[in-house]
Structure 1
Amino acid sequence: MGFDDKTTVADVMSTPLETIAKDATVMEAAQRMREKDISALVVPNTPRAIISSTDVIAAVADGRDTSELQVADIMTTNVETATPDLYMEEVAAMMTTYGIKHLPVVDDDYVGMVSSTDVTAHLS
């Protein structure tokens, strides 16, 4: 089927944006993701960073102590972002091209998150 030509990020992004401090523990990040039923958190006050469930799983698989490990130690930096007016077809292409599952949405500041789940949910 596909997106209507006019479907934008603003139409499907998740809000409010969930964030976590870079000095929080990875365990705290995992608990927040579980509590909010999401798979990524934006790390504000850093140059475009997120921590995702994939980052957490990698830390656990490596045997790292998530109660001591800080978000800053494993967060993904220099992430791609989207603007609210970007068309969803472009977002889907970006996710495929870059092999990513989350795009923080920025206007003047972070305003939301669009995920591969959002893309999939709106394809039908």
Structure 2
Amino acid sequence: MNRDKRTRVEEVMSTPLETISASASVVEAAQVMRDGGISALVVRSSAPGIVTSTDVLHVVADGRDPAATTVEDVMTAGVESVPPDLLIEEVAAMMTSLGIKHLPVVDGDDYVGMVSSTDVTAELA
């Protein structure tokens, strides 16, 4: 990390933000994640949420049919988000205290990216 300049979320977040519909199947979510080389998607719905690769794994491990299970069935609703100008150390503390690995980045009313624990770890290492 450059000690002369404190890193902000916008410098390490993944863009463009990948999203998926709440009515999409878990298979579709897995395909979008695989194709994008990512492990979380923001879910477009009246109450935005997030679906992660861990959610997909739980569907499979529980013996549920991922083609018949919707993203809405497994997503986390009411997710926390962060602004693009937040310091990366603050994001690390937030992830640790909440026990989460992904945070959507929101600028005003717009979702603009995703910051992951991998992004944070790489920057702080």
**TM-score normalized by structure 2?**
0.93
RMSD: 1.6
Deviation at 1:44, TM superposition (A): 1.8
Q: Secondary structure at the match of 1:35?
A: helix
Q: Secondary structure at the match of 2:51?
A: strand
- Structure 2 residue 27 is matched with structure 1 residue 27: yes
**TM-score normalized by structure 1?**
0.93
Deviation at 1:3, TM superposition (A): 6.7
Residue in structure 2 matched with residue 43 of structure 1 by the alignment: 43
In structure 2, stretches of 5+ residues that fail to align are: none
Conservation of the 8 A alpha-carbon contact between 1:5 and 1:87 = no
Residue in structure 2 matched with residue 57 of structure 1 by the alignment: 57
| 1:11–1:31 Cα change, 3 Å | same
Q: Secondary structure at the match of 2:41?
A: strand
| 1:69–1:4 Cα change, 3 Å | farther
Q: Secondary structure at the match of 2:73?
A: helix
- Structure 2 residue 87 is matched with structure 1 residue 87: yes
| 1:46–1:117 Cα change, 3 Å | farther
CA shift digits 1:1-39 (9 cap, x unpaired):
687652111111100000011100000000110111100
Higher deviation after alignment, 39-48 or 3-12: 3-12
CA shift digits 1:47-72 (9 cap, x unpaired):
23010011111111110000111100
Q: Secondary structure at the match of 2:77?
A: coil
Counterpart CA distance in 1 for 2:76 and 2:112 is 19
Higher deviation after alignment, 97-106 or 40-49: 40-49
Aligned length: 124
Higher share of residues assigned strand: 2
Percent identity between the aligned chains? 64
Residue in structure 1 matched with residue 77 of structure 2 by the alignment: 77
Question: Which amino acid in 2 is paired with 1:16?
Answer: P
